[in-house]
Each structure stands twice: as C-alpha cells, then as structure tokens.
Amino acid sequence: MTQDNTLQIKLRLKGGSGPNANWHWELHDAAGKVVKTGSAVGPEHKAFTIARIAKEKLESAKS
C-alpha cells in the first residue's frame, strides 16, 4: 500500500457571515500534523482558494 503524501486543506469559520466571514485554514500532512496555517476574510470559496495556492506552493517547493 502506498502512502499519500498530499496535503489536506481544513477550513473553519471563526466568526462573521457573508462578505465579513473570518475563515481559518490549515494544511495537514498525511500524519495529520499541521504544516501551515492562515486566515482569510470573505466567502468560503475565497478562503479555500487562498489555502489551495499555499498548498500548491508548498508541494512545488518539495519537488
């Protein structure tokens, strides 16, 4: 069985709603350890996009 080395994005709403929502995101490795954290203000899709960009930068830095 092979081990999956990709990072997972986890989003959590910290407060607010709509355009004033405060999102906290974390990138977790395969072992569940937090690799990077951050936050974003706005709709959920904006926070996910910011986390995805951070994930892609970390994965490309490993290569």
Report residue 3's pLDDT band, with 50, 70 and 90 as the boundaries: very low
HEC-encoded secondary structure of the chain: CCCCCCCEEEEEEEECCHHHCEEEEEEECCCCCEEEEEEEECCHHHHHHHHHHHHHHHHHHHC
pLDDT digits (tens, 9 = 90+) for 8-49: 999 999 999 988 999 999 999 999 999 999 999 999 999 999
Q: What is the C-alpha separation between 9 and 55, in angstroms, rounded?
A: 8
Name residue, tokens 């951050």.
38
Residue 59 to residues 15, 38, 53, 62, Cα–Cα distance (Å): 30, 17, 10, 5
pTM of the full predicted structure? 0.84
